[in-house]
């Protein structure tokens, strides 16, 4: 899907919550949101109430490696931004309110810690991000653009920074950055206003460097209560230093086998220290560490370890004793505005968040009091509390007789050309089902709820246990037979199916482990390899399985470590295998011989060479004599054949390119209106499914069916507005004639790579017979079903009873079961998906806005318009543009015979079957009165969402003006008109004061080189328009 298109995701999570092994966490300043990052690269937003009740809201996708750190990226409350960093060097700036990715970048170094720093320069306030990690400096990054501005560099003993803290000075204009390197050397940098505004990448050197002998420092924190102390926590001890001259005030060793991992000041005389196993302790500082005490700095210069200070509170280990994969992450946060909570937050590998509210007063008595948990919840517990439970894509077909839990879907693939979804399950069976029909069952109410086994489906049984991967090769490349479906399982087998008949064609049993991946080779491999699929198994083996010959033509099984990457060098007939230990194996595909095994920098260069050189340019850059010498030395038959046909292929491709240029045809529109993508956060999870609706593609396919074009090809957006020029038949005839001669020459040169003519005729006959079979799975209109599902999910139900009745009775729409989990696609393909538990926090917010307690049924269908402004913008644009499109169609209702079968191509006149097809094609014409009512219904629906929705909803998130302005000249006419109508309606709604605020907000970003004469001439009409 193109990034410029209007694409809306809807997610079906299923009953099993995604794995969320927490690696970092952050609490926002207003204490309403907790942000957690996990080892699999996802980020989760949790809503928190003033009563400290937490509920997961959304999950963000975009990082490709584990999240290493999270930090806030703005100080204002109206725009809450956070920044995240991963092990692969990725940095993303997110909007906490709606999960949009504002900016992203990728650096060559990985960050382990980020702190936000805001400075003032006159009336302006700017934000900076101070980053440290696996590099010997501190990078200062712009908080908006994520560009590296300058760096804080060490002159003396430069090394990686293990922890860092910013000391804000209220007396002077100078702030201090204090950091500790991994070797235990304390570094101090002074940041002034002039330094903060630097953008020339000049390094800033440290002001002081002092060894404090704290190797492996986990955290350093500044006491904001006294402004004069620093707390350093290492594995075996924690120490308090004077923030003035960095002298040691006290040092406390750990008890027994405890390993400290962090700490923080919770008051002027108290600190909280936590361990790697989840325990926490609150200590009272000795008098030598308190500036208000007369014994302050009395122990400076003493070398002996101080005694352990009094223990006030303790938080013991987990009571359930559940085995955790990773150590839990613990952080302390205290509110600087209402409510003034002091919270200890802990997240573990089971996706559980636990909160402890730390009291200000000390308990009476000498023994330490155990602090009780205030709130705790995991993702799975939140999913289990839902009523009804979150639905999966084929739950209605997966509940076994006498069971309650549906069989989990472990692998799936969507076939857009047929509208079918192929789901491999945990019991080894494979289900083929129409995607739109099964989504309607899970999301919408209707008569289908009373039918058992609906929708019509087909079950393939052949695997003995869980299906791990499914591949439809024809979808990747048209060179494969469109009947072939390939699946792999934990029973070590790869099965080839006939997708139309459900017949098992062949079983490959060549691996000694479960199949983990199925890959399609590139286009320019040898002819024999082009009809193969590449299978990867857990026994570290790779196979090339020929679908045409029904045998394994190569099995590479000498790898000592798990396989991580498969790459190709078709010009040299090489298959390149990268393993987890960094080794690279180079195999010859034609002979199956191991060419070489390398490690180190050579292995990296080989993998990079596969990416850098495009396959089409390899032959062009190599000299023919060199190619011949390499082919002879390697005894590669495929390389010799590639050389022999190189010039013929080049000539043919050049002729085809010239022919297409002569025709001057516009590119065909190839986007699918619906794409179903299976996703999982961890390899052990069952599949969740995301339905991506392309609004522009839905509109184009609706208009195409309305026009009943003879050609089955889709029209492009440009072709809806201007006709295409006729093709140059003369040039096409000449090119076809020359290409036929080239093809005959290629047949004579390489006979073994071509099938016999009799075999081709037999294949064609069998294909026609299979196509002629009546398939119950295809007896529905895919385009109209997609529009029906999409519009039913987008409509704001429950606000206008009369319009709801029209939608149900006249337009054929269906009402949702429960609030639908939508998503939002933002920059770079980053995506936020609402968890099914989002309705709990939304219900609470809408109840507060309405002044009464709302039931979950009250927000079904309209709650998403109160989630965020970006989500409202996308939904309003989609529903208005589709409603306007359906209003201009003849058969615009989702009720009738036209919903059962897609329009077919009209037959040629004079054919024997033409009377029968004509009689059965299309529904009987509706009465003009009924058509007028349907058009009026779509008009009312568009008007309600465009104009009346803010008045009908108690809490309405208005659309974003900048997103509407970007769509002002969208290439799709219907989307463009919807954006213009929405923008004008929003400008009228906000009134003159709102328009003035908008102008003032965007004025600093407008160019200043406007002609003064012309600006005065056109200034008054523009102001009057706004």
| Confidence band for 828, pLDDT divided at 50, 70 and 90 | confident
Better-predicted residue by pLDDT, 697 or 626: 697
- pLDDT band at 1011, cuts 50/70/90? low
Residue 785 backbone dihedrals phi, psi, to 5 degrees: -65, -40
How far, CA to CA in Å, does 499 sit from each of 431, 756, 762? 11, 25, 19
Residue-wise pLDDT for 568-582, tens only, equals 988 888 999 999 999
Assessment of whether the complete model's pTM goes beyond 0.85:
no
Tokens of 250: 């006290």
How confident is the model at residue 723, as a pLDDT? 40
pLDDT band at residue 198, thresholds of 50, 70 and 90? low
Q: What's residue 926's pLDDT?
A: 56
Q: Rounded to an integer, what distance in angstroms lies between the CA atom of residue 494 and that of residue 507? A: 6
Our CA angle for 411, 790, 379, nearest 5°, is 50
Q: pLDDT-derived band of residue 84, with 50, 70 and 90 as boundaries? A: very high
Report how far residue 575's alpha carbon sits from residue 573's, in angstroms, rounded to the nearest whole number. 7
Other CB atoms closer than 10 Å to residue 440's CB: what's the count? 21
For the residues 237-258, what does the mean pLDDT come to?
Answer: 85
Q: Return the residue matching tokens 């939608």.
A: 807
Contacts of 264 (CB under 8 A, 6+ apart): 219, 221, 231, 271, 272, 331, 332
Confidence of residue 640 (pLDDT cuts 50, 70, 90): very low
pLDDT at residue 857, as a whole number = 63
721 pLDDT exceeds 80?
A: no
Lowest mean pLDDT across 70-74, 731-735, 969-973: 731-735
How much is the pLDDT for 1013?
52
pLDDT of residue 714: 44
Least confident of 243-252, 771-780, 970-979: 771-780
Least confident of 286-295, 477-486, 691-700, 811-820: 286-295
Q: Determine which of 266-270, 412-416, 728-732, 893-897 has the lowest per-residue pLDDT on average.
A: 728-732
Mean pLDDT value across residues 468-488: 94
Mean pLDDT for 379-383 is 94
Q: What is the pLDDT of residue 420?
A: 93
Q: Which pLDDT belongs to residue 760?
A: 52
Smallest CA-to-CA distance from 430 within 471, 481, 473, 487 is with: 487
DSSP 853: P
pLDDT in tens, 570-614: 888 899 999 999 999 999 998 889 999 999 999 999 988 887 654
Distance CA 542, CA 563 (A): 9
pLDDT number for residue 550: 93
Give the tens place of pLDDT for each residue, 130-158: 999 999 999 999 988 999 988 999 988 88
Q: Give tens-digit pLDDT for 961-1002.
A: 988 998 988 889 999 999 999 999 999 999 999 889 888 888
Lowest mean pLDDT among 65-74, 165-174, 529-538: 165-174
Residue 110 contacts residue 86 (beta carbons within 8 Å): yes
Per-residue pLDDT at 250: 86
pLDDT at 131 (0 to 100): 94
Query: Residue 17: left if φ>0, alpha if ψ -120 to 50, beta else—which one?
Result: beta
As a whole-number percent, the residues of the chain with pLDDT over 90 amount to: 43
Instruction: Out of 25-34, 226-235, 360-369, 932-941, pick the least confident.
Output: 360-369
pLDDT digits 0-9 by tens, 328-366: 999 999 877 666 788 999 999 989 999 999 888 777 655
Q: Are 702 and 787 in contact (CB under 8 A)?
A: yes
- The reported pLDDT for the residue numbered 856 is 62
Q: Examine the pLDDT at 634 and tell me if it is beyond 50.
A: no
Smallest CA-to-CA distance from 82 within 273, 73, 90 is with: 73
First-to-last alpha carbon distance for the chain, in angstroms, is 35
Q: What is the arithmetic mean of pLDDT over 749-778? A: 46
Output the six-digit token pair for 219.
């955290």
Residue 339: asked if its preceding bond is cis (omega within 30°), the reply is yes
For the chain, percent of residues with pLDDT exceeding 70: 75
Q: Is 673 exposed, middle or buried (0-12, 13-18, 19+ CB in 10 A)?
A: buried
pLDDT, tens only, 796-818? 888 888 999 999 999 999 999 88
> What pLDDT does 201 receive?
66
* Mean pLDDT for the stretch of residues 630-649: 49
Q: What would the two tokens of residue 988 be?
A: 């009228």
pLDDT (average), residues 178-198: 83
Does the structure show a pLDDT above 70 at 710? no
Q: Is 833's pLDDT higher than 60? A: yes
Report how far residue 508's alpha carbon sits from residue 536's, in angstroms, rounded to the nearest whole number.
13
Return the bridge partners of 676, or none: 691
- Among 669, 670, 664, 671, smallest CA distance to 724 is for 664
Q: Quickly state the pLDDT bin for 716 (edges 50, 70, 90).
A: very low
For residues 486 and 422, give the distance between their C-alpha atoms in angstroms, rounded to a whole number.
11
Token code pair at residue 613: 């050189």
Question: pLDDT at residue 850 above 80?
Answer: no
Alpha-carbon dihedral sign for residues 945, 79, 43, 347: negative
564 pLDDT band (50/70/90 cuts)?
very high
| Beta-ladder partners of 135 | 133
Residues in the chain: 1026
Of 562, 536, 555, residue with least CA distance to 471: 536
Q: Which residue has the higher pLDDT, 72 or 752?
A: 72
- pLDDT at position 670 is 55
């Amino acid at each position: 899907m193109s990034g410029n298109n209007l694409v809306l995701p809807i997610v079906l999570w299923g009953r099993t919550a995604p794995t969320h092994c927490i690696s970092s966490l952050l609490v926002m300043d207003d204490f309403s949101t907790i942000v957690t990052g996990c080892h699999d690269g996802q980020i989760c937003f949790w809503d928190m109430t003033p009563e400290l009740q937490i509920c997961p809201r959304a999950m963000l996708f975009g990082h490709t490696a584990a999240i290493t750190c999270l930090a806030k990226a703005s100080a204002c409350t109206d725009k809450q931004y956070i920044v995240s960093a991963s092990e692969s060097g990725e940095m993303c700036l997110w909007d906490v309110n709606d999960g949009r990715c504002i900016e992203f970048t990728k650096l060559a170094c990985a960050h382990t810690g980020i702190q936000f720093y805001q400075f003032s320069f006159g009336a302006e306030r700017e934000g900076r991000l101070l980053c440290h990690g696996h590099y010997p400096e501190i990078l200062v990054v712009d908080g908006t653009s994520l560009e590296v501005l300058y760096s804080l560099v060490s002159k003396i003993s430069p090394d990686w920074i293990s922890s860092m803290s910013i000391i804000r000075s209220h007396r002077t204009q100078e702030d201090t950055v204090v950091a500790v390197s991994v070797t235990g050397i304390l570094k101090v940098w002074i940041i002034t206003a002039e330094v903060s505004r630097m953008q020339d990448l000049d390094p800033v050197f440290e002001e002081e460097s002092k060894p404090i002998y704290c190797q492996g420092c986990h955290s350093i924190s500044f006491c904001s209560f006294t402004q004069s102390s620093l707390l350093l926590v290492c594995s075996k001890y924690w120490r308090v230093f004077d923030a003035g001259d960095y002298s040691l005030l006290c040092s406390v060793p750990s008890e027994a086998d405890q390993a400290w991992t962090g700490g923080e000041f919770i008051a002027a005389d108290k600190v909280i220290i936590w361990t790697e196993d989840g325990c926490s302790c609150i200590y009272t500082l000795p008098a030598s560490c308190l500036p208000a005490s007369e014994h302050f700095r009395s122990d400076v210069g003493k070398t002996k370890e101080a005694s352990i200070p009094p223990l006030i509170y303790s938080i013991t280990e987990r009571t359930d004793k559940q085995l955790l994969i990773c150590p839990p992450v613990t952080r302390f946060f205290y509110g600087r505005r209402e409510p003034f909570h002091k919270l200890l937050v802990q997240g573990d590998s089971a996706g559980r968040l636990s909160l402890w509210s730390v009291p200000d007063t000390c308990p009476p008595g000498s023994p330490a009091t155990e602090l009780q948990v205030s709130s705790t919840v995991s993702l799975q517990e939140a999913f289990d509390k839902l009523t009804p439970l979150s639905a999966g894509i084929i739950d209605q077909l997966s509940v076994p007789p006498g069971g309650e839990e549906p069989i989990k879907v472990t692998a799936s693939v969507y076939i857009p050309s047929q509208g079918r979804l192929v789901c491999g399950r945990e019991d080894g069976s494979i289900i083929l089902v129409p995607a739109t029909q099964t989504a309607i069952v899970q999301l919408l109410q209707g008569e289908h709820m009373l039918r058992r086994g609906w929708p019509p489906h087909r079950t393939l049984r052949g695997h003995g246990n869980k299906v791990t991967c499914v591949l439809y090769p024809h979808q990747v490349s048209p060179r494969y037979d469109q009947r072939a479906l390939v699946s792999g399982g934990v029973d070590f087998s790869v099965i080839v199916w006939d997708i139309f008949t459900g017949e098992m064609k062949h079983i490959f049993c060549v691996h000694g482990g479960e199949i983990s991946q199925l890959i399609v080779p590139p286009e320019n491999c040898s002819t024999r390899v082009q009809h193969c699929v590449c299978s990867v198994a857990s026994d570290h083996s790779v196979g090339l399985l020929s679908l045409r010959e029904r045998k394994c033509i190569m099995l590479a099984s000498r790898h000592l470590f798990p396989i991580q990457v498969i790459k190709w060098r078709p010009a040299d007939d090489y298959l390149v295998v990268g393993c987890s230990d960094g080794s690279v194996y180079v195999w010859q595909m034609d002979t199956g011989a191991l060419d070489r095994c390398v490690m180190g920098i050579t292995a990296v260069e080989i993998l990079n060479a596969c990416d850098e050189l495009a396959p089409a340019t390899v032959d062009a850059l190599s000299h023919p004599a060199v190619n011949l010498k390499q082919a002879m030395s390697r005894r590669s038959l495929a390389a010799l054949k590639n050389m022999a046909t190189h010039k013929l292929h080049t000539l043919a491709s050049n002729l085809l390119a010239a022919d297409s240029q002569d025709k001057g045809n516009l590119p065909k529109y190839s986007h699918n209106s619906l794409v179903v993508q299976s996703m999982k956060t961890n390899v052990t999870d069952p599949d969740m499914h995301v339905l991506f609706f392309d609004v522009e593609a839905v509109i184009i396919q609706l208009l195409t069916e309305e026009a009943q074009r003879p050609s089955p090809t889709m029209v492009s957006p440009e072709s809806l507005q201007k006709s295409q020029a006729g093709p140059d038949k003369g040039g096409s005839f000449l090119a076809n004639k020359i290409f036929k001669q080239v093809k005959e020459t290629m047949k004579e040169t390489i006979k073994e790579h071509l099938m016999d003519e009799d075999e081709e005729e037999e294949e064609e006959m069998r294909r026609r017979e299979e196509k002629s079979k009546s398939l119950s799975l295809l007896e529905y209109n895919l385009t109209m079903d997609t529009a029906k599902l999409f519009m039913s999910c987008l409509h704001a139900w429950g606000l206008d009873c009369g319009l709801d009745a029209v939608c149900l009775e006249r337009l054929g729409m269906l009402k949702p079961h429960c609030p639908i989990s939508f998503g939002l696609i933002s920059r770079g393909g980053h995506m936020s998906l609402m968890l099914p538990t989002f309705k709990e926090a939304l219900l609470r917010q809408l109840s507060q806005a309405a002044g009464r307690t709302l039931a979950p049924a009250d927000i079904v269908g309209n709650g998403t318009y109160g989630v965020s402004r970006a989500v409202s913008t996308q939904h309003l644009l989609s529903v208005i543009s589709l409603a306007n499109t359906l209003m201009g169609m003849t058969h615009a209702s989702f009720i009738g015979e036209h919903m059962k079968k897609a329009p077919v191509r009209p037959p040629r006149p004079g054919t024997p079957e033409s009377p029968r097809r004509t009689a059965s094609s299309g529904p009987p014409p509706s009465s003009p009165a009924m058509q007028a009512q349907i058009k009026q219904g779509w008009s009312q629906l568009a008007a309600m969402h465009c104009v009346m929705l803010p008045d009908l909803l108690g809490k309405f998130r208005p659309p974003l003006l900048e997103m509407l302005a970007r769509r002002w000249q969208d290439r799709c006419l219907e989307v463009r008109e919807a954006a213009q109508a929405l923008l004008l309606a929003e400008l009228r709604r906000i009134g003159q004061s709102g328009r003035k605020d908008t102008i003032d907000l965007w004025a600093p970003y407008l160019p200043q080189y406007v002609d003064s004469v012309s600006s005065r001439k056109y200034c008054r009409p523009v102001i009057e328009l706004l």
